[in-house]
Structure 1
Amino acid sequence: MIEFKSLFWLLTCTSLICFCSSQDSIVSLSQKLEQFEEELLDNKVDMLRMEKRVRNTIDVARTSLRSELKENIRDQVREAMAEILQGESLQDMVKSQVVSELRHLKQGYYQMKRQLHHVSRSLKDFQDETDEFHKSVLKKGDVWNRENSSDTCVRDKHRLEIELQKCDVTAAELQTDIKRYMTLNETCQSQILQMKTALDASSLPPAPVNVTTTFRPPVSTTSVTTPRPEEEKSRILIAPGWSVTQHQFRQLNIHSNSLSVYQYHTMKDVTYVAYIAKTKELLIGLRNPDKIVSSPLDTSHVTVLRKGVETYGMAVDEDRDIVFIATYQPRMSISRMSTQGKDFTAIIELSKYGNTPKQITLDTRRKRIYWCNGGKLFTLTYDGQGLATLATGGSLYAVTLDQTAGVLYYSINKKLMKMSVSTNVSTEVTTLSADPRNMRLYRGTIFFSCHSSPIVGAVDVTYNTVAYTLQSLHMKGAGALLMCLIP
């Protein structure tokens, strides 16, 4: 028991000694750690100072190198620019480059503008054609819906059979007439041959025999003397030109050469009359006040299309819905608008080209305009390009075009001339009785009205080149007879 207690105290003392020893070691270790931290902090401060000095040194070196590099580059650039410019300043070179770029940009802008105008025009034409096609389809659809029945089909078939029978009978009659004509022609030829033989065999002077009168086949046939239905409707509307007195319009029926009163319009101060076949409307130019009005054919209703416009010539491109106008007011020009009077614009200013433009005619296939001003004949494209003078002379007021043959007809000092639009070569056709102010070509015949002469005349340019008078009429106070062809 005593040993055990001694061992206990021995262990206790040993543990106390170890504890004290370890505590001294810990204190010493903590002091060493604090000293090490102070050294680390000092080293860190030294490193920061060193980094700052290095950065300052690098900045100084970079600044010096950059300035030196700038000087070297500036010298090299100057030498290179001196070689490139060869006496030309940089400002001049930049200016020329800018001017060139501006020129290219301007050309590109105008080209784009022209292309945009062309595309818009093409789009409008396509829309018009689409509308017409849509209307025709709807119309045919309505007709089909109304008439799509078996009874209607049977009636149509029966009617067609009757018409075919009539055509067969007519064809048989024509064949018979042809045979009779050939027989008559052979008889006439044999009789003429016998008469020539008898005259050659006789020693006496031959007696005068009217061979052509006796044996001449008939010139007029049923197809010539009997006008076709569409010919019966063809007429010329005649209006008093520039008259301060109101006059009733007249109409001249072409097939019968009969003159009658056009009862729908009584006007004064008329400057021009044109006709739109597609819509069956008249375009009438008036002055005092200046305006252009429209009127449905054979009605007295009048609608004002444009105010402030004085015109002495109008022509209509019906497929494109354009009216070209020779204007005196608001300015002397060739202008255009729609058939409803919209989008009025001047194509070309004509104040520096002489007198007031008069009659206009169009080549709708080639998109060209032809007009005269009393002394010159001009041509121009629809978009105002390619102005050219085709002919010069006195009293050159009227012009018309045979679009199929490509022949232009105009008058100079009472002489009717013709010109090929492909070669611009003119030849004389015939001499007229007065100076024409309006001319219209219809089925191989030129119809014309005159200034200071109360006649409406015609020239058959297909078979005959002799001018003749259709009708003579006098409207008191009228400076000219204005003519409008209604086919």
Structure 2
Amino acid sequence: MVQMKCISWLLTCTSLICFCNCQDSIVPVIHRLDHLDRKLLDNKVDMNRMEEHFLDIIDGAKISLRAELKENIRVQVREAMAEILQGESLQDMVNSQVVSELRHLKQGYHQMKRQIHHVSRSFKDFQDGTAVFHESVLKKARFGNLENSSDVCVRDKYKLEVELHKCDVHAADLKADNERFVELNKTCQFQISQLKTALSVPASSPATVNAPLTMKLPVSTTTVTTPRPQEEQRRILIAPLESSTQHQFRQLNIHSNSLSVYQYLTMKNMASVAYIAKTRTLLLGSYGPSRISASTLDTSHVTVLREGVRANGMAVDEDRDIVFIATYQPQKSISRMSTQGKDFTAIIDLTKYGSVPRQITLDTRRRRIYGCNSGKMFTVTYDGQGLATLATGSSMYAVTLDQTAGVLYYNNVKKLMKMTVSNNVSTEVTTLNVVPYNMRLYRGTIYYGGYSPTTVGAVDVIYNTVAYTLQSISIKGVVYLLLCLIP
């Protein structure tokens, strides 16, 4: 709190200042005090905004963590952990860990809140004192009494400058407090990131019974031997668009960022690629000739499902055994078929809607399809009803959906945009280093394949929205890259 101990003699001396023609020396002081008020108000607004942002981070972390745990914990992990913990349930262990970590976060948050309240009280007291001082100065300037000593004016001016220096020191303290709040916010974000990493349980594949689990276990008197984590299997299959050269497929390991040749497929002239997790099957759209084929993951055997179809984009609803296809041939449309290639039919004709449809993504809960066609982002229901344009732009090729949060991500040239599904409001997330041709969302990170140059990049859309390059890829005769995420 700024102590205004010298108010009494300041009020008396201001009359001398005004009467001795010293008004010119008081006006700059008043202006500086007004400027200081505005700076302090701005600091308070920034601190309030920071507090709201921190609350949003905590709420988002809670929702994301709980949703991810429900989605990834499998029956095999529960049985294995029940045996290791000798009857203690995995749910109890997770709840204990979540409660412990969130308690630390709440303590940090309450500490920051107390500091904010302290600074707010100091700011209010200083503001009240400054207001009283302004009123006194103005009043004495209008109704000052006699006294015209120039020495007194000089002495009073010096005293006013001393008080102004004290105000500047207080403003510096507020600025230092603000910087400490920023550091505390970064620390809390880092703790949330560690909590997210500690509680993430990778989804187990059919070929893996004991999934790796990197989590701090509750304290126990019994020594538990944890199995050694297996090698990270999540990867990105990179298919070169329109390449006429064989052996052009690549695979990128997300965990180690290592790039290698995918030796099993030698297909050429690719147009789209998708993955069916239940059967570990790749769906491959090609042209010259136009067809849709299927290949079991990590094998060379390819089966043709449909002839005469050029698929620019494919998305799979595994629970309903449906593949939706953005077709260029035999017509511009959104079509559907079973995962075995049966019952192929067009659900909506897009010939008059605009350019060729590109990547599509699915909201399986609401049974809606979202897609891009270079100049528009659109949506339509599973049965082809309710076609609507959600956004317009240029070079709009890529779209992906965070179904849990209800947020669409799409590109407008090099800008990464996001749209809330509930109100169709778009905002810019960041600027990418390339124009993405398609993108995939996995655990809060968007992976995208671009051109000019041909790179695979990533953006963490939860904590750090700065785009970065994973790999620059040199493939003969290729401009675009197609990505297929293989969990």
Q: TM-score range by the shorter chain?
A: 0.5 to 0.7
Q: Deviations over 1:150-197 (max 9, x none)?
A: xxxxxx999566474999999999999999999999xxxxxxxxxxxx
1:462 aligned onto 2:465: no
DSSP-derived class of the 2:272 partner:
strand
Q: Residue 262 of structure 1: CA displacement?
A: 2.1
1:315 aligned onto 2:315: yes
1:245 aligned onto 2:245: yes
1:479 aligned onto 2:483: no
Q: Residue 355 of structure 1: CA displacement?
A: 1.3
Matches within 5 A, 1:143-158: none
Q: Deviations over 1:353-401 (max 9, x none)?
A: 2211100111111111111111111111111111111111111111111
Q: Deviations over 1:173-229 (max 9, x none)?
A: 9999999999999xxxxxxxxxxxxxx9xx9x99x9x9999xx97958987778855
Q: Is the 8 Å Cα contact of residues 247 and 475 (structure 1) preserved in structure 2?
A: no
| Cα distance in 1 between the residues matched to 2:81 and 2:236 | 40
* Larger-gyration structure (1/2): 1
Q: Residue 243 of structure 1: CA displacement?
A: 0.4
1:408 aligned onto 2:408: yes
1 or 2, which has the higher helix percentage? 1
DSSP-derived class of the 2:352 partner:
helix
- Judged with a 3 Å threshold, the aligned counterparts in structure 2 of structure 1 residues 182 and 283 are, in CA distance, closer, same or farther, namely closer
DSSP-derived class of the 1:319 partner:
helix
DSSP-derived class of the 2:328 partner:
strand
RCO higher in structure (CA 8 A, sep ≥6) = 2
Q: Is 254-263 or 458-467 further displaced after alignment?
A: 254-263
Q: Residue 257 of structure 1: CA displacement?
A: 2.0
Matches within 5 A, 1:351-370: 351-370=351-370
| Cα distance in 2 between the residues matched to 1:382 and 1:168 | 40
DSSP-derived class of the 1:267 partner:
coil
| Cα distance in 2 between the residues matched to 1:169 and 1:386 | 46
Q: Is the 8 Å Cα contact of residues 240 and 247 (structure 1) preserved in structure 2?
A: no
What TM-score comes out, normalization by structure 2 length?
A: 0.57
Match of 1:347 in 2: 347
What TM-score comes out, normalization by structure 1 length?
A: 0.57
Q: Residue 255 of structure 1: CA displacement?
A: 2.2
DSSP-derived class of the 1:256 partner:
coil
| Cα distance in 2 between the residues matched to 1:267 and 1:275 | 16
Match of 1:325 in 2: 325
- Judged with a 3 Å threshold, the aligned counterparts in structure 2 of structure 1 residues 463 and 330 are, in CA distance, closer, same or farther, namely same
RMSD: 4.3
Q: Residue 300 of structure 1: CA displacement?
A: 1.5
DSSP-derived class of the 1:263 partner:
coil
Q: Is 217-226 or 274-283 further displaced after alignment?
A: 217-226
Instruction: Letter of the 1:327 partner, please give it.
Output: T
Match of 1:301 in 2: 301
| Cα distance in 1 between the residues matched to 2:197 and 2:322 | 38
Q: Residue 263 of structure 1: CA displacement?
A: 2.4
| Cα distance in 2 between the residues matched to 1:425 and 1:403 | 16
Instruction: Letter of the 2:440 partner, please give it.
Output: R
| Cα distance in 2 between the residues matched to 1:388 and 1:179 | 45
| Cα distance in 2 between the residues matched to 1:157 and 1:388 | 48
Q: Residue 337 of structure 1: CA displacement?
A: 0.5
- Judged with a 3 Å threshold, the aligned counterparts in structure 2 of structure 1 residues 483 and 181 are, in CA distance, closer, same or farther, namely closer
Matches within 5 A, 1:364-383: 364-383=364-383
Q: Residue 467 of structure 1: CA displacement?
A: 1.0
Match of 1:291 in 2: 291
Matches within 5 A, 1:183-262: 229-230=202-203, 232-262=232-262
| Cα distance in 2 between the residues matched to 1:183 and 1:410 | 38
Matches within 5 A, 1:65-84: none
- Judged with a 3 Å threshold, the aligned counterparts in structure 2 of structure 1 residues 458 and 168 are, in CA distance, closer, same or farther, namely closer
Instruction: Letter of the 1:299 partner, please give it.
Output: T
DSSP-derived class of the 1:265 partner:
coil
In structure 1, stretches of 5+ residues that fail to align are 1-139, 141-155, 186-199
Match of 1:433 in 2: 433
| Cα distance in 1 between the residues matched to 2:408 and 2:299 | 33
